[in-house]
Amino acid sequence: MAASRFVALKTRWANCSTTRASDWATIGLVVAASFVLYARTAAPGLLDGDEGEFQTNIARLGVSHTGYPLFFLLGKVWTLLVPVGTLAVRANWFAAFWGAAAVAAVFVFVRWLTRNRWAAILCALVFAVSRVEWSQAVVPRPYTLNAFFVVIVTLLFFLWRAGKVDLSVPIFAFGLSLTNHRTMIWFAPAIACLVLWQERAALLRPRRVAQLALAFLAPLLLYGYVFWRGESDVGVEFHLKDFGEMILGGNASRWMRYGPLDWLVSRVTDLYIPLLVEQFTPLGFVAGLVGMLALALDRVPRGWQRDLPARDALVFIVLANIGNSAFCVMFWTMDVEKFFIPSYLTFLFFVGVGIARIWDWLAARPARWVTQGVLVLVFVATAGYLLRANYAVNDLSARTAVIETWNENLSQPLEQHALIVGPWETLTPLEYAQYVEGRRTDLERWKVIVKREQLDLTLYGSRQADIESAVRAGRPVYLTVHPSETETLGALADEFRLTRVGELWRVVNCAPQVASCGLPMIESRTTFRDRAGRSIELLGYAVFPAATLHAGDFGLLMLQWRAPQSVGARFTISLRVLDAQGRLVYQRDAEPGSGLRPTIGWTAGEVVQDDAGFFIPPGAGAGTYRLVLVVYDAGRGEELATPTGTQFVVCETRIPQ
């Protein structure tokens, strides 16, 4: 008998060790595969808007508009530990890492809850390729770390309820989660119900209450980071006076919408339910309903943690889901889907229970291995479907527009201490260039409001009057958006001339209605013609502010064109500045009217005004410089000919000693 007991004990130990080893191997594989997927599809570098703001503040330990102290502190550590890629790339991979960690946490939680490895693997797979979670793992935002906390906080409270850990552990984790994202507060009703029901007697003891209060409040001291690093001027400016408005959530009330019961029901059925089904497919949704019903009827999976009452788990998950979902359906923002991630996750817990319950039901049927194998294959195919459907949507690996735009902008010899003006979202790449890379720190940034509905949100408003004063005082001013694309700055286009410089708009102190800014238009007739006989004629030009410029000056070449007949092609105008030795010192290529008046739309005999801005480089020596025009068809790679060749010298400008 002793021998048989020894064999049984040895077998149980071997099974336990194998299980643990295989689980650790699975966790490692889940983390690696998820991280590779997210890193492969992550944005390749610099971004604008919130993402650009977070990239900068991770690098410089700044404060973004709603705090996130834990996110920024961990992000900074991450960028110091990861030795490859730019700081912007590392910030993007930081979100990818926590996305992978959240997927692994799903596996661990479902595995512990149901002791069903396949249910845990399938839930982790489906969650990893769900659209919204994936979308947050490819840009530097705090939502993947928040997803990790959703799983860990729930797991720790269930471990406490099962008698495995002290209550102070999940309470501490809950407090810590709030230092990453404040929406974890919507778990409070679920936590309160579970704790008050289970430990109401102990909560009458002052010492126990003090212990739990300390566990909750201690991590919240991380918000001292906001006081330490709070005077930020990156993105949405944060100052310590904004603590109550932005950190404590006072500003959230602006986006809250309320309505009668039928409105609320429609928000759930038209918004939340479709989003939930989209994340996990109808199959996952049905499995979740099966899991919910199983807990309600106390028909738990065979491997269920017996020390955890099924209905306690049900009430906690339902209340957590309802708390977060209720906030989201009333939170009126365009990107509210990412705030639903805790709702998706809590429903996914039901999906895990449902898969495990179906697995057990199939185990009692004939050909169990076949039917269980089919169940696995069906959910693997579901994950494959989600992977294929969401890959194109979430693949940001080719999102280089912001990088290219600001490389182009900062490659321009913009005047020292020039003023760059635009909405905050468009300026975050410049802030990254200045604070992180140390480029063009002389440039000054003005953040402006471009939507009327937001004018009351800041003290500075649209700043149109300030911009007008700066331009008239002779200060170089550049806009990141054309005034016609705004609701507040349109009058600038009526008062001043605007011309494209890189991807910026230079505001020139000259009325757009005056053809040559009051300067005499010099006749300079020549025709540019392609091999197909299509042509445009240059009628005349003027140089603003004068024909004599200094090193580092900005000039405006004002051109008048005419189409002898309809062109039927898109021609690009290349303005080149050559020194006395014929060396190129500046080049500006654009379609006429800074791209707003393409030649393909010209009618026969129409005269078109075209302003081409140019710079005399700061290091240019004294002497004569030639302004040369080349017209070409970019699509066909053909330069148009003039009677003197493809390059036409419009005029000369002098730089004095």
At residue 17, the pLDDT reads 37
pLDDT-derived band of residue 41, with 50, 70 and 90 as boundaries?
A: very high
- The predicted-structure confidence for 420-455, as pLDDT tens digits, reads as follows 999 999 999 999 999 999 999 999 999 999 988 887
- Among 38-47, 437-446, 514-523, 621-630, whose mean pLDDT is lowest? 514-523
Q: Is the pLDDT of residue 287 over 80?
A: yes
At residue 4, the pLDDT reads 53
Q: Is the pLDDT of residue 655 over 50?
A: yes
- The predicted-structure confidence for 58-75, as pLDDT tens digits, reads as follows 999 999 888 899 999 999
Average pLDDT over residues 182-187: 95
At residue 19, the pLDDT reads 52
Q: Is the pLDDT of residue 14 over 80?
A: no
Place of tokens 């009692």: 364
Q: Is the pLDDT of residue 5 over 60?
A: no
Number of Cβ within 10 Å of residue 522's Cβ equals: 13
By CB atoms closer than 10 A (0-12, 13-18, 19+), residue 163 is exposed
pLDDT-derived band of residue 240, with 50, 70 and 90 as boundaries?
A: confident
SS3 597: coil
- The predicted-structure confidence for 347-392, as pLDDT tens digits, reads as follows 999 999 999 999 999 998 888 889 999 999 999 999 999 999 999 9
Calculate the CA 274 to chain-centre distance.
23
At residue 18, the pLDDT reads 43
At residue 21, the pLDDT reads 79
Q: What is the mean pLDDT of the chain?
A: 91
Q: Is the pLDDT of residue 8 over 60?
A: no
- Cβ 151 vs Cβ 106: under 8 Å: yes
Integer distance in angstroms from the first to the last C-alpha of the chain?
Answer: 108
pLDDT-derived band of residue 231, with 50, 70 and 90 as boundaries?
A: confident
Residue 541 main-chain phi, psi, to 5 deg: -155, 165
Measured at the CA of 237, the angle between CA 231 and CA 242, to 5 degrees, comes to 70
At residue 590, the pLDDT reads 95
Q: Which residues contact 99 (CB under 8 A, 6 or more apart)?
A: 34, 35, 38, 128, 133, 134, 136, 137, 144, 147
At residue 364, the pLDDT reads 86
The span from the CA of 537 to the CA of 218, in Å, is 75
Torsion, Cα 389 391 394 400, to 10 degrees, reads: -140
For β-strands 497-501 and 504-508, DSSP reports them as antiparallel
- The predicted-structure confidence for 526-543, as pLDDT tens digits, reads as follows 999 999 999 999 999 999
Average pLDDT over residues 471-497: 94
SS3 542: strand
- The predicted-structure confidence for 591-635, as pLDDT tens digits, reads as follows 999 999 999 989 999 999 999 999 998 888 889 999 999 999 998
Nearest to 505 by CA among 617, 613, 615, 618: 613
At residue 16, the pLDDT reads 36
Q: Is the pLDDT of residue 247 over 90?
A: no
**Is there a cis peptide before residue 545, judged by omega within 30 degrees of 0?**
yes
pLDDT-derived band of residue 568, with 50, 70 and 90 as boundaries?
A: confident
Helix, strand, coil % (nearest 5) of the chain?
55, 15, 30
Q: Is the pLDDT of residue 253 over 80?
A: no
The span from the CA of 601 to the CA of 327, in Å, is 50
- Cβ 71 vs Cβ 233: under 8 Å: no
Calculate the CA 605 to chain-centre distance.
47
Q: Is the pLDDT of residue 15 over 70?
A: no
Q: Is the pLDDT of residue 246 over 80?
A: no
In sequence order, which ranges of 67-162 are alpha helices (DSSP H)? Answer: 69-81, 87-114, 117-128, 131-136, 143-161
Beta bridge partners of 529: 535, 641
At residue 13, the pLDDT reads 34
Q: Is the pLDDT of residue 121 over 90?
A: yes
- Cβ 622 vs Cβ 516: under 8 Å: no
Between 514 and 541, the higher pLDDT residue? 541
At residue 490, the pLDDT reads 92
- The predicted-structure confidence for 204-220, as pLDDT tens digits, reads as follows 888 999 999 999 999 99
At residue 3, the pLDDT reads 53
